[in-house]
């Protein structure tokens, strides 16, 4: 892997600091001065990398969304059966949310608030296209219920946000078995019953 350039390191540090402050304190309590301090950078420097605070938040969102999607689809290929493919993607998504806790919390916060420009949100959704295509194939083959992809997403991927939130607050502990159970519920909800 190519070593990151110095400015790339700073950019990453700013993104990490933004994520950290936003998920812990909320957008309204994540001032530029604190973001700068946490990233070991002067406030003015942020403006060399981002236009303003809104641009910073939008870019952080898009960057994380892209890395989320990359993770989700990294082992997937279109030769897989629908069920195989779905299981594969779903488990990678769960894995991302378990490993990249802060980033996942950030995304779910963005997706449920007007924090992010509507335009950036639209942009972020595009990354999920392979999953939508897979679902379409599943519906054509009659193995997945015939409903819009919003519904499929709501009952398979979206619930993970709730579970990860609960895990974060230590209301539940998540292990291999828990993930498997959650997967089965996701599949049960969208599979076409014979």
The yes or no reply on residue 114 touching a copy of itself (CB under 8 A) is yes
- Quick check: 27 and 57 in contact, CB under 8 A? yes
- Quick check: 64 and 43 in contact, CB under 8 A? no
Q: Who contacts 134 (Cβ-Cβ below 8 Å, separation ≥6)? A: 76, 78, 82, 85, 86, 89
The yes or no reply on residue 155 touching a copy of itself (CB under 8 A) is yes
- Quick check: 85 and 127 in contact, CB under 8 A? no
Q: How many CA atoms lie within 13 A of 163 on its CB side?
A: 21
Q: Which is nearer to a copy of itself, 89 or 107 (CB)?
A: 107
The yes or no reply on residue 77 touching DNA (CB under 7 A) is no
**Contacting residue, 38, 66, 80, 154, with a copy of itself by CB under 8 A:** 154
The yes or no reply on residue 140 touching a copy of itself (CB under 8 A) is no
Angle (deg, nearest 10), helices 53-72 and 101-111: 120
The yes or no reply on residue 180 touching DNA (CB under 7 A) is no
**Contacting residue, 6, 28, 170, 194, with a copy of itself by CB under 8 A:** 28
Binding site for DNA (CB under 7 A): 6-7, 10, 29-34, 40-48, 52-54
Binding site for a copy of itself (CB under 8 A): 23-29, 108-109, 111-115, 118, 145, 147-148, 150-151, 153-155, 158-163, 165-166, 169, 171-172, 181-182, 185-186, 188-190, 193
């Amino acid at each position: 892997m190519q070593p990151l350039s110095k400015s790339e390191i700073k950019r990453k540090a700013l993104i990490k600091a933004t994520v950290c402050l936003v998920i812990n304190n909320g957008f309204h309590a994540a001032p530029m001065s604190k973001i700068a301090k946490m990233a070991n950078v002067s406030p003015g420097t942020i403006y060399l990398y981002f236009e303003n605070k809104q641009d910073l938040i939008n870019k952080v969102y898009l960057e994380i969304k892209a890395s989320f999607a990359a993770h989700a689809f990294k082992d997937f290929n279109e030769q897989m059966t629908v069920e195989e493919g779905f299981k594969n993607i779903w488990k990678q998504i769960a894995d991302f949310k378990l490993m990249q806790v802060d980033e996942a919390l950030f995304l779910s916060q963005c997706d449920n608030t007007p924090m992010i420009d509507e335009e950036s949100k639209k942009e972020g959704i595009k990354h999920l296209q392979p999953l939508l295509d897979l679902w379409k194939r599943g519906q054509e083959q009659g193995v997945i219920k015939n409903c819009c992809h919003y519904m499929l997403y709501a009952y398979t991927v979206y619930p993970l946000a709730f579970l990860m939130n609960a895990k974060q607050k230590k209301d539940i502990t998540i292990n291999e078995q828990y993930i498997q159970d959650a997967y089965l519920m996701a599949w049960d909800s969208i599979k076409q019953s014979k």
